[in-house]
Amino acid sequence: MSASRAAPLRVLVVVEDAGVSRAIEHVVRDDGDLLITAGSVEEAVQLATVDRVDVAFVELRVEGGAALALCHHLPSLSPGVRVQAILHPPELDRGPEALSLGAGGVLVAPPTGEAVARVLSDVKAEHVRRREVTTLEAKLARERKRLETYDRLVRFARGAAPSDAVRAIVDGVSQLSAAHGVALYATFGDDDSERVLLASVGTALDLPSTCAPADLSRLVQARAARVVPLTAASGAIGMLVLDRAPASVEADIAQLADLAAAMLSLVDRQDPIDESVRVFPPKHFRTVADRLLTLAQRHDRRCSVLAITIPGDKPNRREEATHEIADIVRTTDALCGLEDGDLLVFLPETSGLGAQACRRRILARLLGDRRARPRGAHFGGAAKSTDPRSKGPPIAVGVATFPHDGLTLRRLVKSARARAADDARSPVHALSLDGLPLNEVVDALLARPMLDAGPRSSYPLDVACSALFALAGRACKEAKRGGEVVVTTTLQPGLGLAAAARQVVTPRVHDVRAEPGCDDVEAIVIEAEHNTWVCCGRIVGERFQGVHAADPLLADVIERRLAAVGATHAG
C-alpha cells in the first residue's frame, strides 16, 4: 500500500525550539504537505477548530509545559489527528503521560528528518487504508442490497403477493440507483392507452395514480427524471421513473429492470372491465388505494371509501350500473375497482361530508327514475301495505372515512361494506318513504318506529321537550368534535330543535308549519364527518313523540322534504 496515493496532509507544528522547527518544516515541505504553525496553545486550538488537522507535532515544553493539554484537546477538535509529542532528554519522564492523554507517539528532540518522514508516511498509509476499507464496505453493502432485492423478486416468482413484488422492485431500484424518488407504472390496454401507478417512494410519491402516456411523458420531462422501460416478450409492460438519479449505476439499473420486467410478466394481470370508465381489477385497485392512503396518513389528510352493492336481479343491470357510477365519479380524484361483486370507490383528499355528497350523487343517478315522479304520484296506501321483503334488493351505498372509520384500507373497506348492508335494511326502503310528503313520512315512522334492531334502524323517542332540547344540543356538540358539521332543522316556537342547534353551529332552518299536517312537526338532521343522525316526530303538548336514527338515507329524505316544503328561515 503506497502512501504516495494519499492526499496532502495538513500538519500543525507547535514548537518553540528553532532547530526542531526547521527540521520538521523541511521534511513537511519536501513531502508536499501543508504546514501550519502555531506560536501558542491557544492559537493551536483555534487553528484546529477552524479546519481539520491530520498530524500535529507538539513540543511539550511550550508555555512552560501547558502544551501537554494539546494531546487531549486536538483529537477532540479534529477526530483522527495524529499527535506526535516532542520531548527533550530531561523531560522523558513526561512521555507516558502524553501517551495516556492521546498522543500517538513520542520523538526525542532534536528529531531526525527520517523520524519525521516516517510519521508522515504512516499517517498517509493509514488514510489510504481507511479510504479503501470504506470503498470496499460500500461495494459490499451495494452488493448485499442487490442480492437481497433479487432474492425478494425471486421469492415473488415462487408465489409471493403481487403487492410485495412491486414494493420490492421500487425499494430495490431506490437503493441501487440512489434516486431521490422511484415510481413503477404498469401498462394497460392493447393500445397502450393507460399508465397505472403500482408503487412509489421518495419524491415520486406525488406522481399521478393513473395517467395517459403523453401526460406522463410531459410530467417526467418537466421533472428531469429518467425513464427505464420494462419490456417482455409480449411488448412493453411498464416503466420505471427515476427522479434525480445519478448516472453511475447504469449496469445495475439495466439488470434490475430486466428482472423487474420478468417478474411483472408473471403477474396475472386482468384487463379492466372497460378502460373508458376506469374500473380496475381488485389487486390493482388495492395497490393504488394503499399508496394513496399512505400519503393521507403521512400528510394528515382525509380520504374515503364507498362500497356500492348493485343487485343483479335484472340482466345486465349490474354492468349498466357500474358504467353509470364510474361515469359519475371524477376520474381526476377517484379510483374504482370491483371486488366480490361490490364496486369500491376510493376518494383521496375527500372528507366524510364530501363522500356523503358523492354517495347522494350516485343514488340520484341510479334512482333518478323513481325520484322523478310528480309530487302527487307518491306511493299510496297499497304501496305501504306491500311486504317490503317482496321487493328486489335495493342499491346500497356504504361510506367509510379515514381516520374516523379505520386506519387501513382493509378496515375502511370492511366498514363501508357493513354500512352498505345496513343501508339495504333502512326504513326508507321498508316503508317506501322516498315518495311520501313530509307529514306522511313522519306518520309512517311513528306507526312503525322500529323495524329491526340494526345500526341504521329507527328507534322510538318519547321525551319532554326540554329533554329533546338537551339531547339535540349534545348531539350537535359531539358532531362538531369530529370536524365539519352541517345541521338542518325545523322551526318551532320556544326551545325547539333550531334553538338547540344554534347554541353550537349555524343551522339551516326551515319553517314547515304552513304545510298541511306539519304544524307540529319537529325534525333535525346532523351530518358530521364520522356519522349522520336524524330525529323527527311531532310535538304533543309538552312532549315530543317521534323516532331517531343514524341513517344517512333517512336523513336525506327528511332533508329533501324540509328543503322542498319549508320556507328558509335565518339560521
Q: Which residues pair with 84 in a beta bridge?
A: 57, 105
If asked whether residues 441 and 513 sit together in one domain, one would say: yes
If asked whether residues 382 and 511 sit together in one domain, one would say: no
Cell of 465: 321537550
User: Cβ distance 14 to 57 under 8 Å?
Assistant: yes
Q: What angle do CA 224, 227, 228 make, to 5 degrees?
A: 155
Residues of the chain with pLDDT under 70: 1-6, 146, 149-165, 188-193, 233-234, 247-252, 256, 262-279, 283, 312-318, 330-335, 337-341, 368-392, 451-455, 566-571
Determine, yes or no, domain membership for 149: no
If asked whether residues 284 and 405 sit together in one domain, one would say: yes
If asked whether residues 184 and 280 sit together in one domain, one would say: no
Q: Residue with C-alpha cell 341510479? A: 366
Closest CA to 358 of 321, 333, 323: 333
If asked whether residues 248 and 283 sit together in one domain, one would say: no
Determine, yes or no, domain membership for 152: no
Q: Which domain holds residue 292?
A: 275-424
pLDDT of residue 163: 62
Determine, yes or no, domain membership for 155: no
Cell of 258: 430486466
pLDDT in tens, 413-439: 888 888 888 888 888 887 888 778 888
Please name the residues in contact with 497: beta carbons below 8 A apart, sequence gap of 6 or more: 468, 469, 472, 489, 490, 522, 523, 524, 535
pLDDT in tens, 94-117: 888 888 888 888 888 888 888 888
User: Cβ distance 56 to 80 under 8 Å?
Assistant: no
If asked whether residues 72 and 35 sit together in one domain, one would say: yes
Backbone phi, psi, residue 314, to 5°: -125, 150
Tally of domains in the chain: 4
If asked whether residues 549 and 417 sit together in one domain, one would say: no
Determine, yes or no, domain membership for 143: no
Instruction: State the CATH number of the domain containing residue 408.
Output: 3.30.70.270
Per-residue H/E/C for 287-342: HHHHHHHHHHHHHCCCEEEEEEECCCCCCCHHHHHHHHHHHHCCCCCCEEEEECCE
- Cα Rg, the chain, nearest whole Å: 38
Cell of 178: 440512489
DSSP-derived 3-state class of residue 470 = helix
Determine, yes or no, domain membership for 153: no
Picking from 403, 424, 445, the residue at the C-terminal end of a domain is 424
Determine, yes or no, domain membership for 77: yes
Reading phi first (left if > 0) and then psi (alpha if -120 to 50, else beta), residue 192 is in: left
If asked whether residues 112 and 184 sit together in one domain, one would say: no
